[in-house]
Chains A and B, each alone.
Chain A
Amino acid sequence: MFVSAIIDGIALGFIFLMLSLGLSIIFGLMRIVNFAHGSLFTLGAYLGFEVASRTGNIAYGILAASLIGLVGLAMERSLLKAKREPMIQVIITTGLMMLLDRLAWLRWGDVPHIWIPRGLEGVVRYGPIIMHSYRLFIIVVGAAISVLAYYLFTKTRYGLFVRAGIDDREMIQSLGVNIERLFTMTFAIGTLLAGIAGFLLVPWQGVYPLIGTNYLLYAFAIVIIGGMGSIEGTVIASILVGIIQQLCAYYAPYLTEISIGIAMFLVLVTRPEGLLGKVIE
């Protein structure tokens, strides 16, 4: 049971990573706390569910969910670009969160929807260890996306500009980088990852209108624990929180929510900038 909990924890950790990475990078570069991020996770889940359940193909579902990146792009260009003051952006994204959650409820109702891809319904046994096939699938897909994200942020021109911009977005402009274009791309990539994460969770926990907003709390905790704007911190914190959450779910469900809160409290008291974050001047 312990190994199963760890495997589930790693799988959940990858879901958290895809959800939190966008949130962390968006804050680190743009100084926006995107309260609509969870709603885009939900929207990705529903979009992916609709396509996958009709076609029977999980790849099509993932592609459909990634279209949330276009929603994020449109959101950034139309609503967020006009006013860059932090408080105004909080109000805009909170309003969007309420609107999107309500629209999801109107369209799909309260009842959770679930769809499990054929061939991944069962379990894999290895001696006494039982592993759900779909959780292993999430680990494989999550690891692949994480490697791609790592390559994007550490080996590409775009990634170099984002990392420099997180350090000092005014100076990177003075060296010739169009920061508005960087903002848009980052917002689109962050929301694309959130959309895919939402859909990947559907066969495991289903989708309902408030799932994204609920998971957003975990994402905030992860970003705080890992350090805002820190890619490496987000990776470590995501897997850590995933494992803690699943260990509690298996052994002490009443501790699940409080354990993450305790972890966040300990980090804030001892190292407020997060495990690998930087002090913001």
Chain B
Amino acid sequence: MAVLEVNDIRVHIGPLYILQGVSIKLRKGETFFIIGRNGAGKSTLLKTLIGFIKPSSGSIVFEGKGITYEPPYVRAKLGIRYVPDNKRLFTSLSVEENLLAPLLAEGLSKDKAMDRIEYVYNIFPDLKKLRKLKASQLSGGQQQMLNLARAIVSPNLKLLLADEPVEGLSPVFVSKILNAFSELANEGVTMIIVETMPVIMKELSGRCAILNAGRVVFESSTEELLRNEIVMKTYFGLA
């Protein structure tokens, strides 16, 4: 049974037609990559799934529940979490407060929240050393680790939506983020990961779809896509 069904989603932003009938289905524990060029509608799709953007038509069903027009906080309570491409950390809060906020929002006590934060510190030990610093004082790579940590700190995480999680990062930080995603995949977390270039996709297997001008133009397993020279050259310029 599909844990997420996106049925013919169409999104207009002003006069622009951004998503033109996108449909995808995800099984529980699956890692699904959405790839495509800039402006293809990848970020818009994730923002529609988390509830920042209302679709013009179509439906989104998560674990059998229709969530098409539910506000973001309701989707979060169902276990959907979002890692935006421009980090959007709470810059006046400390690292630890950024991690505490989602846990307190779920109703955890402070003690249970701190236990959960220790779990995230095991995945990102650097963050533990930086926990008292304000998020604005972190480097770009450290901020991206915190961005991901803030999403995965929830004990009820069921679906992770990650937008360009390694874009612009140095190899050291790419490696740390990749390890985190590997661990999440091993734990059976369902994930949708957006990439412009196949970086994480080369390391994690799953399924993928290419989005072009708001439409899904190709869908396959990640291995099939990486072996398909015509698609790799057409969309990524890679031989």
Contacts and interface: CB of A to CB of B under 8 A. Distances in A.
Nearest to A166: B92
A152 interface: no
Q: What does DSSP make chain A's interface, helix, strand, loop or mixed?
A: helix
Closest 6 CB pairs of A and B: A176-B105, A175-B102, A176-B76, A173-B72, A164-B90, A167-B90
Contacts of B92: 163, 166-167, 278
18 contacts: A160-B97, A160-B100, A160-B101, A161-B105, A164-B97, A167-B90, A167-B92, A172-B90, A172-B105, A173-B71, A173-B73, A174-B52, A174-B73, A174-B76, A174-B81, A174-B82, A178-B73, A179-B71
A168 to B, nearest CB: 5
B50 interface: yes
Given A171-B88, A176-B102, A176-B106, A163 B93 contact: yes
Contacts of B101: 160-161, 164, 172, 175, 177
Chain B's interface size range is 20 to 34
A164 B93 contact: yes
A125 interface: no
A112 B72 CA distance: 49
Nearest to B80: A174
B73 A179 contact: yes
Interface of A: 157, 160-161, 163-164, 166-168, 170-179, 278
Contacts, number: 72
A174 B90 contact: no
A163 B77 CA distance: 21
Nearest to B153: A175
Contacts of A278: 91-92
A164 B94 CA distance: 10
A194 B102 CA distance: 31
Contact of A173 (B76, B84, B106, B150): B76
B145 to A, nearest CB: 16
Interface in B66-96: 71-73, 75-77, 81-82, 84, 88-93
A276 to B, nearest CB: 10
A12 B105 CA distance: 37
Contacts of B82: 174
B214 interface: no
B9 to A, nearest CB: 18
B104 interface: yes
Nearest to B147: A171
Contacts of B89: 167-168
A176 B51 contact: no
Q: Which of B75, B76, B81, B84 has the most CB of A within 10 A?
A: B76
